[in-house]
Amino acid sequence: MAEHNELGTLGEELALKHLRENGYYIHETNWRFGKDEIDIIAEKDGFLVIVEVKTRRSDFFGEPEIFVNATKQRFLVRSTQAYVEKNNLTLEVRFDIISIVLNSTTKRINHITDAFYPVL
């Protein structure tokens, strides 16, 4: 496995631990819809929470969350619609980002709730 894939996997594991410790119920991880993927689908306080995890070794080029661009957001919205329809869900949906900077000296997790809103 490539080093960046290992970092991404480790970041997702840290994000799952963070969510569980904060009372989230995990529905799915790495749920695929065609070529698109939702990193984590969770639930808390009556919300279906769609979580995109971004892990980087440094913030030299900016915080990891800035890399969840408009294109990625559209993919997440489209995949979420498919997941909600497939599972006949009526929960309100929220989009969060868990931004992680992880290296030999730093482990920083930033959970951004309501990170973006779907554009209709």
CATH of the domain at 92: 3.40.1350.10
Q: How many domains does the chain have?
A: 1
55 assigned to some structural domain: no
90 assigned to some structural domain: yes
Burial 49-78 (b: 16+ CB within 10 A, else e): bbbbbbbbeeeeeeebbeebeeeebebbbe
54 assigned to some structural domain: no
112 assigned to some structural domain: yes
Task: Say whether pTM exceeds 0.75.
Answer: yes
Cβ of 116: how many Cβ atoms within 10 Å?
Answer: 18
> What whole-number distance in Å separates Cα of residue 91 and Cα of residue 67?
27
For residue 79, give the nearest of 65, 95, 90, 66 by alpha carbon. 95
106 assigned to some structural domain: yes
Per-residue pLDDT of the chain (120 residues; tens, 9 = 90+): 566 678 889 999 999 999 999 999 999 999 999 999 999 999 999 999 999 999 998 776 778 888 899 999 999 999 999 999 999 999 999 999 999 998 888 889 999 999 999 875
% of the chain beyond a pLDDT of 70: 95
Given this model, what pLDDT does residue 60 score?
Answer: 66
Boundaries of domain holding 34:
3-47+66-116
